[in-house]
Amino acid sequence: MLSNALQKALNEQIKNELYSSYLYLAMSAHFEAASFPGFAKWTRIQSNEELEHGMKFFDFINDRDGRVGLLAIDAPPVEFGTPLEVFKMVLEHEVKVTGTIHRLYELALKENDYPTQVMLHWFIDEQVEEEKNATAIVDQLQMADDHKGLLLNIDHHVGKRGAE
């Protein structure tokens, strides 16, 4: 059985993951409008993955005989900046998400809830990947600076996500 505190925190995390999904979808719409098909595809795939993350928490609460209570999701921004600004926002966002996962883990430790700790190991690893991937794109965009040709190259390369 999940403790009340943990159930509440896991429900919060469903909301956090779905907000991430919404945020990446908004970024994807922005990149579509700005004619960067590669970045649009990357953020769209990312949006789908975040929905899957939310569903992992949804399933886990149900598996533990807990009760899912869906919370309101904030609207993400509509306007975004340059690709570099957007990917800096991606990195900043993922660092924040890492913090929420780590706080959940601390709570699972405090409550001696071993199954939740084991389930969260996957997310702890995943956040290392998320930060690594976002950092790599930020670094590339920083190198390209305002060079349009290089920017389009990076867009093309980033758009290969999901094709490997």
Interatomic CA distance for residues 30 and 83, integer angstroms: 10
* Interior angle at CA 75, CA 67 and CA 96, nearest 5: 70
Q: Is 30 in the site for Mg ion (CB under 5 A)?
A: no
* Contact (CB, 8 A) for 130 and 101: no
- Residue 126 CB, nearest approach to Mg ion (Å): 7
Q: Using the minimum distance from each CB to Mg ion, give the nearer residue, 123 or 151.
A: 123
* Cβ at position 156, least distance to Mg ion in Å: 26
Residue nearest to Mg ion (CB): 53
3-state SS record for 12-45? HHHHHHHHHHHHHHHHHHHHHHCCCHHHHHHHHH
47 scored as a contact of Mg ion (CB under 5 A) = no
Least Cβ distance, residue 24 to Mg ion (angstroms): 10
Dist. CA 69–CA 53, nearest whole Å: 16
Of 26, 9, 21, 85, which Cα lies nearest the Cα of 51? 21
Judged by CB, which is closer to Mg ion: 105, or 153? 105
Q: Which region among 29-37, 42-50, 82-90, 98-106 touches Mg ion (by CB under 5 A)?
A: 42-50
Count the residues of the shown chain that bind Mg ion, applying the rule CB under 5 A: 3
Q: Taking the complex as a whole, how short is the minimal distance between the CB of residue 53 and Mg ion, in angstroms? A: 4
Site for Mg ion contains 53 (CB under 5 A): yes
Name the minimum Å distance from CB 147 to Mg ion. 32
Query: Taking a C-beta distance cutoff of 8 angstroms, is the pair 6, 108 a contact?
Result: yes
By C-alpha distance, which of 151, 17, 164, 14 is closest to 84?
Answer: 151
Q: Which residues bind Mg ion (CB under 5 A)?
A: 17, 50, 53
